[in-house]
Amino acid sequence: MTNEATSSVVAEVACPFCGLACDDLSVDTGGDALAVVAGGCPKAQAGFARMGVAHAGAGARIAGKAVSFEEAYAEVARRVKTSALPVFSGMALDVNGMRGVMDLADAAGGVVDHLYSEIGWRSTRVVQDIGYVTTTLAEVKNRADLIVLVGTDVVTKSSRFFERYVWNDEAMFEPAPSARRIVYLGGDLNTAPGRSPDGREPEVFDFDCSRMPEALSTLNALLAKQPVRDAAPLGIEIARWQALADALRAAKYSVLVWMAGDFQPSQVDLNINAIMAVVRTLNVSTRCNGLGLGGADGELNASMVHAWQTGYPMRTSFASGIPLYDPVHNGSARLIAEGETDTVVWVSALNDTKQPPAEACVVIAPPTLKLEREPEVFIPVSTPGVHHVGHFFRGDKGATLPLRALRATGLPSAATVAAAITAKLKEVSA
Ligand code: SF4
């Protein structure tokens, strides 16, 4: 039995390393690096071990030379102030970090863009065009009797999905969670976790995922009782498609799950539109919901804060003094490629593996990030949920999890850095 007064193990830790934000981890803080001892997955173990160090000796740099944090803040403020259009990208941040960067972008007249916005804005377009009918992970856990995974296995990105939300021992409104029916639409997916605890194999519609629009069109046609002339759409006999349509009609609470990042970028809004058509049709006679999962690297922290502070989705420019939303024009990759920005500031406190774009002159990131090239200014930051407290929106938008501080470090948070640079902006003459 553990003596809580002396144990170095912290229980009920929320994990910030993917969109599921599992909050049942136990983390041993006693060693040089943080060790997940219960409730995690390989990604969580690696993340806490790699980033959960004290960062002794880490400091700010200008042109590769050690400087004080104050000097680095002043240099970033000077660059941002004199820029025609500063772009703040990356944005793998907790809620507070994102709030700080939004204030900085507003004061600097810049653009903010999350590293997954190229996919995210296409999902948002569906909400803008036709609206969403979606559910939460808690509803899946407690109600779903038929789960269709559309072009995703989920587990490649969020490995504990089935463990925590599908094959649970008990559910509030579904008497036998182990009897849930699992269907995969698409090939080359890891379908093993879809096998039920009593050994029932999932049903797999094995086809090239790039042909998902055809698959969803077939399903929508059958649900609408329209003729489908092809005897075997995508090489799968029509009787199987019809059986799936019938199963969806017969289900009490079906859920169509997708991860937009697993769709081809050009098909994201097309596929989600088609999923929503399925949901609309079925809700005339039964219950059916969509579940778009995401949220890794603070994706939802960024989009939520951006929406509540500006009234617009991500990719809004403050250059004119008022927020102007244009998700195509304000994409950071496009602004860089077209030479429309001279100052790219990469900010990422949650991800220490993704390289900033080569054009990033300022990098604000954990010191464990192994940079392929030295930026003009580097400012090391601590990580939310590891070194300091914070808040993290789960990938289904159903909950905001509190993040804990597990390991002391002398490094500032991204929110602190952003606030310091914003304060320095006032001291710089343009
Ligand atoms: S599934 Fe995701 S949130 Fe859960 S422990 Fe693994 S990395 Fe963390």
Cα(298) to centroid(ligand 1), Å:
13
Strand partners, 362: 345, 377
Residue 97 near residue 413 (C-beta atoms within 8 A) = yes
Residues 104 and 234 in one domain: no
- Measured at the alpha carbon of residue 393, what is the angle toward residues 389 and 396, in degrees to the nearest 5? 155
Q: Kindly tell me if the per-residue pLDDT of 66 is higher than 90.
A: yes
Residues 152 and 102 in one domain: no
Best residue for ligand 1 mutational test, from 34, 94, 158, 393 (most atoms within 8 Å of Cβ) = 158
User: According to the model, what pLDDT value does residue 2 have?
Assistant: 45
Residue 13 lies in a domain: no
Question: Atom of ligand 1 at shortest distance to CA of 20?
Answer: 3
Residues 340 and 420 in one domain: yes
Residue 398 lies in a domain: no
Residues 99 and 79 in one domain: yes
CA 173/CA 20 separation, integer angstroms: 22
Cα(345) to centroid(ligand 1), Å:
28
Best residue for ligand 1 mutational test, from 12, 13, 20 (most atoms within 8 Å of Cβ) = 20
Residues 183 and 238 in one domain: yes
372: domain CATH number?
3.40.50
Question: Atom of ligand 1 at shortest distance to CA of 36?
Answer: 5
Residues 94 and 225 in one domain: no
Please state, for a pLDDT cut of 70, what percent of the chain lies above it.
98
Residues 235 and 141 in one domain: yes
Question: Atom of ligand 1 at shortest distance to CA of 41?
Answer: 6
User: According to the model, what pLDDT value does residue 174 have?
Assistant: 74
Ligand 1 lining (C-beta closer than 6 Å): 15, 17-18, 20-22, 40-41, 43-44, 158-160
CA 401/CA 72 separation, integer angstroms: 32
pLDDT higher for 130 or 238?
238
Q: Kindly tell me if the per-residue pLDDT of 4 is higher than 90.
A: no
pLDDT in tens, 317-353: 999 999 999 999 999 999 999 999 999 999 999 999 9
Q: Kindly tell me if the per-residue pLDDT of 5 is higher than 70.
A: no
Residue 198 lies in a domain: yes
DSSP state of 236: S
User: According to the model, what pLDDT value does residue 430 have?
Assistant: 53
288: domain CATH number?
3.40.228.10
Which residues constitute the domain of residue 244? 121-294
Residue 293 near residue 155 (C-beta atoms within 8 A) = no
Question: Atom of ligand 1 at shortest distance to CA of 17?
Answer: 7
Taken as a whole, the chain contains a residue count of 430
Q: Kindly tell me if the per-residue pLDDT of 69 is higher than 80.
A: yes
The domain boundary residue, chosen from 252, 270, 294: 294
Enter the pTM of the model. Answer: 0.94
pLDDT in tens, 130-178: 998 999 999 999 999 999 999 999 999 999 999 999 999 888 887 788 8
Residues 202 and 323 in one domain: no
Mean pLDDT of the chain: 95
Residues 103 and 180 in one domain: no
Best residue for ligand 1 mutational test, from 12, 13, 22, 45 (most atoms within 8 Å of Cβ) = 22
Residues 150 and 105 in one domain: no
CA 129/CA 399 separation, integer angstroms: 25
Q: How many domains does the chain have?
A: 2
Cα(203) to centroid(ligand 1), Å:
26
Residues 111 and 126 in one domain: no
- Measured at the alpha carbon of residue 273, what is the angle toward residues 268 and 279, in degrees to the nearest 5? 130
pLDDT in tens, 178-224: 889 999 999 999 999 999 999 999 999 999 999 999 999 999 999 99
Residues 417 and 303 in one domain: yes
